[in-house]
Structure 1
Amino acid sequence: MPRDTPYLQVADEIRARVLAGEWAVGDKLPSRARFAEEYGVGQSVAQRAMERLIIEGILEGRAGSGTYVRKARERRRMIRSRIHREGGGSPFRSALKDQGSAGTWECNSRARIPATEDIAARLAIEPGDFCVMTHYEFLADGQPAQLATSWEPMAITGGTDVLLPEMGPRGKIGVVARMRSIGVEISTAIEMPRPARATREQANFLGISVGDLVTQLERIYFDSEGRPVETADIIVPDIRWEIAYEIEVDDSRF
């Protein structure tokens, strides 16, 4: 993408100099005033550029001291698994627990949302049929990790105590366990990853820039009869996470 925003241009220049070894890990960088003078921009532009590199994990700010080159932030692995772990609850929380991290989230559900043509096609319902839509903001060790929006047909959950996914006696236990509690056995899922660019809303939550690369996962859960019972769009920032799939191997097939 064209880097026509001044602070992004400055960030690109400073990043390139750090990666070229002009400053080593632990070195203190020049002040924002010096960078502003060097690049012919205002100090606020230089400050935004340095804040951008702090978000990326290239620099770190130390209160009352200045800005330093930090050890490169590791790109963590997000494991997507179809293997059920007893007592694991939410797949997001289970995956992070396996890595010694804590997964939490905030969400907001709305009922009686008419399905768009795209969502209706995924769920094998008619456009305009009512769904429950839930927007999630996921955190890993308190830091933004991913976003998701889920749709469930009210024809399946309406009139039950699992209508709202995160509320009631069976809230926060994950789609599979919730559906099982009302007699719906989820047996398969498909997940389609696609590259995308962050929108402003996504970037604001994830702490990245508008247009940065993200992975968009389109997920659909199916019951034992092949009926779609839930679909979701999941947004993962590429700069922080690589996605890996864990697949159970059946020895009889090999």
Structure 2
Amino acid sequence: MGDSRPVYQRIADDLRRQIDEGVLAVGDRIPSRSELKRTYAASDQTVDRAVRVLKAAGYAEGQFGRGVFVTDRRPLGSLLRTSDTADSPFAARISTGAATTSLLWEATSATTTAPPRIAERLGIAAGDRVMCTRYEYLADRRPLQLATSWEPLALTEGTEVVFPERGPYARRGVRERFAAIGVRVVGATELVGSRPATTAESEALGCSPGQCVTVVERTHHAADGRAVETSDIVVRADRWRLEYRIAFAD
């Protein structure tokens, strides 16, 4: 039987194979549109679609006025996930081999209303007021992760912890902040998935629109079962691994 794959997919798969086998090395230029058309007897639209597939998969990136080049897909490191890092939007440290690098981040907070999916995770009504905090993380000046956190204002409004990154409990983490207002946080639930990056996410993380990102939905719970905080965390799936360290009780 013949190859039933669409022509654009066959071209993309062949280019991926050449990259994986080192025929096309990191930094090499992907053959031009005219070269690909001639090699694969394909149309402009077909080879353009094949190159878009490569870009979306993180194998290549365009450089304005120069062409499309093979990207470095080796993981930059591991995002550590342990009980010691549970209070940060995702991980307090980055493991990059022998060295461990501290994260730097910027955050902005604003009062808004909870959209339905966030309201469901927090156990509140859609439209209830929440504090929304958006984070951007850097490691060694490289974009690492994005995070958006929501906390019900019914719990924090009028207290010293209403702004997660301001006041006497700034950057103390969810557990310590809520403990300051008499709420004991006992655990967190995380759901890990993947999806294509949005245009805004790709611009912030330095990848192509549509490229695969790892998405973590994390929700902190109080001792009485209430959800006190929920976050969406986004990282580039091709550059960062998730490292979970699980301790077993004796």
The interval holding the TM-score normalised by the smaller chain is: 0.7 to 0.9
8 A contact 1:145–1:237 mirrored in 2: yes
Over the aligned positions, Cα root-mean-square deviation in angstroms equals: 3.8
Q: Which residue of 2 aligns with 1:156?
A: 155
5+ residue gaps, structure 2, are 38-42
Correspondence list, 1:121-200, <5 A: 121-200=120-199
Alpha-carbon shift at residue 117 of structure 1 (Å): 2.1
Asked if 1:22 corresponds to 2:23, the answer is: yes
Counterpart amino acid of residue 19 in structure 1? D
Q: Work out the CA distance in 1 between the residues paired with 2:203 and 2:11.
A: 20
C-alpha distance in structure 2 between counterparts of 1:242 and 1:95, whole Å: 13
User: 1:213 aligns to what?
Assistant: 212
Matches of residues 1-254 of structure 1 in structure 2 within 5 Å?
16-22=17-23, 29=28, 35=32, 38-39=35-36, 73-81=74-82, 83-84=83-84, 90=88, 92=90, 94-96=92-94, 100-111=100-111, 113-251=112-250
Taking a change above 3 Å as real, the CA distance of residues 140 and 170 of structure 1, as seen in their structure-2 partners, is: same
Structure 1 position 100, deviation (Å): 0.9
Deviation string, structure 1 residues 181-235 (Cα, Å, up to 9, x no partner):
2222110110011221111111111111111111211111011111110011111
User: Residue 29 and residue 142 in structure 1: after superposition, are their counterparts in 2 closer, same or farther (change >3 A)?
Assistant: closer
SS at match of 1:100: strand
Identity in percent: 36
Tell me whether 176-185 or 128-137 shows the greater mean CA deviation: 176-185
Instruction: Classify 1:138/1:57 alpha carbon distance in 2 versus 1 (closer, same or farther; 3 Å).
Output: farther
Residue 64 of structure 1 corresponds to: none
Alignment partners' CA distance in 2, 1:109 and 1:18:
42
Q: 1:142 to 1:92 in 2, by over 3 A?
A: farther
Residue pair 1:58, 1:73 contacting (<8 A) in 2 also: no
Moved more, 13-22 or 162-171: 13-22
Partner Cα separation in structure 1 for residue 25 and residue 154 of structure 2: 59
Counterpart residue type for residue 95 of structure 1: R
Aligned residues: 229
Contact conserved, 1:57 with 1:73, CA < 8 A, in 2? no
Deviation at 1:89, TM superposition (A): 7.2
Cα separation, partners in 2 of 1:89 and 1:227, compared to 1, 3 Å? closer
Alpha-carbon distance in structure 2 between the residues aligned to 1:105 and 1:3: 43
